[in-house]
Amino acid sequence: MTPLEFGLIAAMSTAAGFIGALLGLGGGIIIVPGLTLLFAQDMKTAIAASLVSVIATSSSAATVYVQENLTNIRLGMLLEIATTVGALVGGAVAIYVNNRYLYLLFAAVMLYAAWTMIRHRDTKKKTGDSEESTNNRLNGEYVDPITGHTVAYTVKAVPVGMVGSLGAGIMSGLLGVGGGIVKVPLMNTAMKVPIRAAIATSNFMIGVTAASGALVFWMDGKVDPVVTAPCVIGVLLGARLGTIAAGKLRTRMLKLAFAVFVLITAYQMVIHGLRGL
């Protein structure tokens, strides 16, 4: 790899981290198509590099969320049992399966991500009601950083959460993404966790989940250090810049731009999948 190529992959990853931080995505959904479509890397190399990058962004963001007490550590660790098993299975399958299926699945996940991005989201959904919960230790409380109010909530539907987390884990190990697009709505809607806590807890789980998937790839010699290095450097830089810019930019236009990007990219991924590259 030439220094120019290295720099270009780092630049692409910086953009992925930046956009990811602004839109609440891990960046994996941009890094995988970036590496395969722009830099002609093998799909499995791209998935492995993306998984490692996702660990970096998740761990970096978690340092802040955990300090702010937004993360429900017990809930996260309980669901991690399911996400890590899923990621192990997903990673093992990804290594053996033909790349064309990975391309097609990835395109489907991208389209789903775009759809969740542009659809109207009702974040004012009433959470925490009076119903008694049996999972007392899982209940959470945090001070909303914007309103300053203390928010207390009761965690519901843990079995549903476990099953959904297993699915999110499989997706993560199979495709090299964090799986937040599955876990955040799952926790928010089914488990009645307020959106801020759901985002922080999902992010918290992503490090352990992606590490399980990445360990399968790494032990098998599928993590290419030279492709992974610029991805990690870039995505950490980009996520940092994105966090700084977050309050200053209007994300509406960005979401629309992302939806257009996804349509073009998903089309390319489908073409690759059908040609069996």
Partner 1 sequence: MSKTNSVISGVLLFGVVTSLILILIGSILLMGNRNQSIQVGPSGLIDGILKIQPYSIINLGIVVLLLTPAARVIAAGISFAVERDYRYIAISALVLGVMTAAAVVGLK
Question: Is position 73 an interface residue for partner 1 (rule: CB under 8 A)?
Answer: yes
Question: Is position 93 an interface residue for partner 1 (rule: CB under 8 A)?
Answer: no
| Burial (0-12, 13-18, 19+ Cβ within 10 Å), 2 | exposed
- Of residues 89 and 262, the one with the C-beta less far from partner 1: 89
Minimum CB distance to partner 1, residue 63 (Å): 5
The residue from 30, 34, 80, 155 that contacts partner 1 (CB under 8 A) is: 80
Q: Distance between CA 148 and CA 252 in Å, rounded?
A: 25
Q: Distance between CA 183 and CA 145 in Å, rounded?
A: 22
Q: Is the distance from CB of 256 to CB of 45 less than 8 angstroms?
A: no
Minimum CB distance to partner 1, residue 16 (Å): 16
Q: Distance between CA 251 and CA 247 in Å, rounded?
A: 9
Stretch that binds partner 1, among 120-128, 158-166, 193-201, 221-229 (CB under 8 A): 221-229
Question: Is position 220 an interface residue for partner 1 (rule: CB under 8 A)?
Answer: yes
Question: Is position 216 an interface residue for partner 1 (rule: CB under 8 A)?
Answer: yes
Question: Is position 158 an interface residue for partner 1 (rule: CB under 8 A)?
Answer: no
Q: Distance between CA 31 and CA 122 in Å, rounded?
A: 29
What is the three-class DSSP state of 189? helix
Tokens of 218: 């790494």
Helices (H), 1-152: 3-23, 28-33, 43-67, 73-96, 99-118
Q: Is the distance from CB of 231 to CB of 9 less than 8 angstroms?
A: yes
Count of residues in contact with partner 1, rule CB under 8 A: 54
Per-residue x/- track, 229-268, partner 1 (CB under 8 A): xx-xx--x--------------------------------
Q: Is the distance from CB of 90 to CB of 171 less than 8 angstroms?
A: yes
- Of residues 15 and 236, the one with the C-beta less far from partner 1: 236
Distances in whole angstroms, Cα of residue 269 to Cα of each of 84, 101, 105, 143, 266: 27, 10, 9, 42, 5
The residue from 67, 130, 134, 136 that contacts partner 1 (CB under 8 A) is: 67
Question: Is position 152 an interface residue for partner 1 (rule: CB under 8 A)?
Answer: no
Helix (H) / strand (E) element for 263: namely helix 251-275
Question: Is position 143 an interface residue for partner 1 (rule: CB under 8 A)?
Answer: no
- Of residues 25 and 88, the one with the C-beta less far from partner 1: 88
Question: Is position 81 an interface residue for partner 1 (rule: CB under 8 A)?
Answer: yes
Residues that bind partner 1 (CB under 8 A): 1-3, 6, 52, 55-56, 59-60, 62-64, 66-67, 69, 71, 73-74, 77-78, 80-81, 84-85, 87-88, 91-92, 137, 207-208, 210-226, 228-230, 232-233, 236
